[in-house]
Amino acid sequence: MMLVPLRAILEATEKEHYAQGAFNVNAVAQAKAAIQVHEMFRSPAILQGADLANGFMGGRTDFMNATLEDKKVGAQNIGNAVKKYGEDSPIPVALHLDHGRDFDSCKAAIAGGYTSVMIDGSSLPFEENIELTREVVKYAHERGVSVEAELGVLAGVEDHVFSAGSTYTNPLDAVEFIKKTKVDALAISYGTMHGANKGKGAKLRKEIAIATKECLLHEGIFCALVSHGSSTVPQYIVKEINELGGDIQNAYGIELAQLKEAARCGIAKINVDTDIRLAVTRNMKELFHYRPELRDSASIGQIYRLLEEKKSAFDPRAFLPPIMNTVMYGDVPDEDVAAIVDCIERGVKEVVGTLIVEFGSVGKAPAVERVTLDEMAERYRKEGI
């Protein structure tokens, strides 16, 4: 079975009334672990590579400066990893580009095997956002690839996306945007934030989701609503990192109860990245704490030194450059590197497994239509989208 377009998974959320977690991966081991834990719970899987994660997976360790060429290589590497573990999986798996910054980034992801792309024109004026999104939709839909867009601006930081203030999405604008662009999914701004510090007691404006969904139902239009910046930032993991010598301050996520409530109000896809980063980082710190002999390891000792040097960092990409072949291709040359890979895989499974259960996608794999990209392209063509 090949990977499925995101649209097929989103349609199942609508029919069965649950939310689907979408999890960011930045290494082959993360893709493998994410697929395995979804299989364990018989849940459909949405794996996401952010635009700059493709740069990192293309070997650009200073991924903020990734070029289009880096992204092309990285998209291929993530695509290969997800195909390797997901193609013959008993569950449907979609690979989605998170925060594609321009048309070329989306094109590179599609060439690398992504079955869905997000074009982020949220910082552009309304009409320009429509124009850019429509261009991506035409290109992607011809290939059976789903498209997500964003309307409204989220506060916070994620990779290259930075905004000090947030602009809530206007439901009427959202309906007009969806009608004109024919997108499959729309990320709305309703109180979530990118990054690890969402502020204590962040409040979601679920009425924005409700109003948008009601308008779409009234118009008879399908479009899944997406919640970005929705990590829960588990406090027990933050505490464990700090007890192991880390220095993470003021890190608060969106309360799980609010996300579950949002799911009941029409949010179909919930993006999570920070939680995975925290769990993997804690596991690596713990490894060197309990196995001090690994601090001088020829292959992973440098990871320990980076963990010590960057005490307030928790993005594993800050610590993994010493083993880039493992990150990009899944090579495991020795037992020491295997120990780090184990940290990565366990971190992913802990967080993703918890949220599969909490968001309600357990056992939903059979609800997803197993549609190929070619079949999806034909469907889009018939529907004129």
Active-site amino acid positions? 98
Q: Are strands 185-188 and 20-24 parallel, antiparallel or unpaired?
A: unpaired
List C-alpha distances in Å: 205 to 225, 259, 261, 267: 14, 11, 11, 12
Q: At what angle do helices 274-290 and 235-243 cross, to 10 degrees?
A: 30
Q: Are strands 185-188 and 155-158 parallel, antiparallel or unpaired?
A: unpaired
Residue 193 is classified by DSSP as E
3-state SS of 12-54 is: HHHHHCCCEEEEECCCHHHHHHHHHHHHHCCCCEEEEEEHHHH
- The radius of gyration computed from the CA coordinates of the chain, to the nearest angstrom, equals 20
3-state helix, strand, coil in the chain (%, to 5): 55, 15, 35
Contact 259, 230 (CB under 8 A): yes
Number of Cβ within 10 Å of residue 338's Cβ equals 13
Strand order in the sheet with 161-163: 161-163, 155-158, 193-194
